[in-house]
Amino acid sequence: MKFDNPAGKNPIDRMKVVGKAYNRIDGPLKTTGQAPYAYERHDVAEGQLYGYILGSAIAKGRIKSMDLTDAQNAPGVKGVVSTLDHDPMKSNFNTASLFGGPQIQHYHQAIAMVMAETFEQARAAAALIRVDYAREDGRFDLEALAPSAPPADGKEVSYGDFDAAWASAPVKHEARYTTPAESHSMMEPHATIAAWKKTDDGRDHVTIWTSNQMIQWNKMALAGVLGIEQDQVRVDSPFLGGGFGSKLFLRADAVVAALGAKQVGQPVKVMLQRPLIFNNTTHRAATIQSISLGAEKDGKLTAIRHISTNGNLPGGDTEGSTAQTQFLYASPNRYTNLHLAEMDLPEANAMRAPGEAPGMMALEMAMDELAETLDMCPVKLRVINDTQVDPTKPSRPFSERHLVECLQQGAAKFGWPEGGKYPKPGGKRDGEWLTGIGMAAGFRDNLLMKSAARVRLKPGGRLVVETDMTDIGTGSYTILAQTAAEMMGLPLEAVEVTLGDSDFPASAGSGGQWGANNSTAGVYAACVKLREMAADKVGFNAADVDFDEGEIRSGGNAVALSDAAADGELVAEDGIEYGDIGERYKQSTFAGHFVEVAVNAYTGESRIKRMLAVCSAGRILNPKSARSQVIGAMTMGAGAALMEDMAVDTRFGFFVNHDLAGYEVPVHLDIPHQEVVFLDEVDEKSSPMKAKGVGELGLCGVGAAIANAIYNATGVRVRDYPITLDKHLEKLPAIA
């Protein structure tokens, strides 16, 4: 199905099943331990061996030699895979080589794997491998590599004449902001079981049962690194315990599991130890950002400049921290620059809301600082700089843009001060606590991607949905079932959804908050075809039928839906494809974030007291699961603002706090009650579902809202995240 014009009225608009707050249909499986996660797939292949990966002890250099003798002779060991026996393996989706060759690109690079009868035997034997390295000097300090002026080799985007507008601006704000490297820190580690077999035509075929967000991407990538055809690979991932972007791409666990299984002729299961998740897989890059805002005295922005530097391996990409700065506020003159500093740290890549998450942490703090300079309400400043068209291309309108409504409704619900201005910074106390409020706008683009599905109407009227879409804890099973139920006029319990298998039609996958809207649109397309088949089967005109309450109705006639499959199941497969509608209309999501914090006047400890997010993201397919996504994102924003920081050892090039004891993430006591409000809207230019993504919008801007609230509480502006007590303790207002 081609979608290239705004959706008109369609069956989803009935909203009998879609739009309702259903519990997740996979919930009982997870709460009773029956949901099969990758490492627990004990039944999928007999004779599974345990693999244990050895990571490099240096960050840059090469392996001179590797002695495997003691490991190979250790109890229970069935084989050892060595990087020296393979050529470097890297797909188009990876920056770092995943395995193979003597060259070391980063610390904890996978260099060997031991396979044994038990996990303990494999781990003990891995410690017996002796490696002789030739260490080389590396680049590990981002501060030392950051340019002092706009870099000539950066990715520049310029509109108007920033320099002239900046020079003439009557009100200016300019400052430098930093965000640290962050880890995804999902509960389920990267894990894979791999098994090989010979097919009937004598060809090798490998299946991996893994934890991965993007099934087709990884099928292509694994085939590529193994040097086989894609039809020789199957990827299966029905349940994930979180990913947040770290499981978008093929990683070392899948590659070495496949290599090991082929070498020993038995299935092999591998789970990355937590330190290897920090140093071997991907992370969010640290950034150094410089923002310049020029405005008229009434607050209208006339000049915006945003320069960001991040580190990555050679050939890696930049963290797109300026993405929102091009589109969020109206200004006739703007300049953005993304600069890559080549480093020898582990690969930096996508983490939940890549680009906008760290970019909004800086931009929305800068906007608050400009509001203070102007002596203006920070909500008002954002409202008067709203735009209904793409500021970089005024002929292109936003498909739907309700940022002003988010800010105004949020301010009213939160109880923003009358007159709009902040209370005096550092001027409000509650016992030993300094209290303050903060706000920020939220922005995240809406991405359109192809997505396909297959639907089966079984004899008896049960409906089965098949697609390789993944559920990373976001509720994909439920919203796909809701979509199919709505389209076919069935109750939710009459729909069965099967996900995560590369043998199923290729979906959009989970990531970038594109999953829900696109995957449900794919199911919609398949159901449109099934409706036509079913109507034709019972002799109705497909253009004039209604599917409701388990019946197919036309005029005054009605037959049971199950009658259409009386002679055998009906199978329909289709997908959603987009024309140029994403080019004709700028598609984005918006939010208003409001926070109250308390900072202990004696210790400098910060505590969040309340949080509110008002979101504009098209039709909300399931308010319950959508709310869960937003509060989870708000929690991640609290972690980014207050505690998360991957500390780099700039001498030896690794993340020191590479476990969940040293890398702090929020716990229950850190998070108060969170309130989420969704605007009642649809976006007909997004998809037939008229929905958008929301899972990353809840993160974009919330960190800055917390930072702004801390400043309001203390009167001390900290521009280097995370805002830990050591950064403002000595400057706090006098206690007496």
Place of tokens 């794919």: 522
CA distance 164 to 652: 45
CA distance 46 to 502: 21
Could you say which DSSP state residue 79 is in? E
| Residue 273, C-beta contacts closer than 8 angstroms, at least 6 positions apart | 53, 189
Does residue 397 sit in helix, strand or coil?
strand
| Neighbouring C-beta atoms of residue 726, cutoff 10 Å | 8
Q: What is the three-state SS of 567-612?
A: CCCEEEEEEEEECCHHHHCECEEEEEEEEEEEEECCCCCEEEEEEE
* H or E element, residue 407: helix 403-414
CA distance 626 to 517: 12
Return contacts of 65-68, CB within 8 angstroms, 24+ apart: 65/131, 65/132, 66/111, 66/112, 66/129, 66/130, 66/131, 66/132, 67/129, 67/130, 67/131, 68/112, 68/129
CA distance 467 to 509: 10
CA distance 204 to 431: 71
Q: Are 42 and 86 in contact (CB under 8 A)?
A: no
Q: Determine whether 696 is an active site residue.
A: yes
CA distance 437 to 689: 37
Q: Are 398 and 587 in contact (CB under 8 A)?
A: yes
Angle of helix 702-714 versus helix 356-374 axis, rounded to 10: 40
Alpha-carbon dihedral of residues 39, 44, 45, 48, nearest 10 degrees?
20
DSSP string, 282-347: -BBPPEEEEEEEEE-TTS-EEEEEEEEEEEE-TT-PPP-TTTGGGTSS--S-EEEEEEEEE-SSSP
Q: Are 117 and 50 in contact (CB under 8 A)?
A: yes
**Which member of 188, 347, 675, 696 is catalytic?**
696
Q: Where are the beta strands (DSSP E) in 508-569?
A: 546-548, 551-554, 557-560
Q: CA gyration radius for the chain?
A: 27
Residue type, 567: D
CA-nearest of 251, 226, 267 to 53 is: 251
* Residues shown for the chain: 736
CA distance 563 to 533: 12
CA distance 364 to 325: 10
**Pairing, β 2-3 against β 570-578:** parallel
**Pairing, β 49-55 against β 110-116:** antiparallel
Active site residues: 696
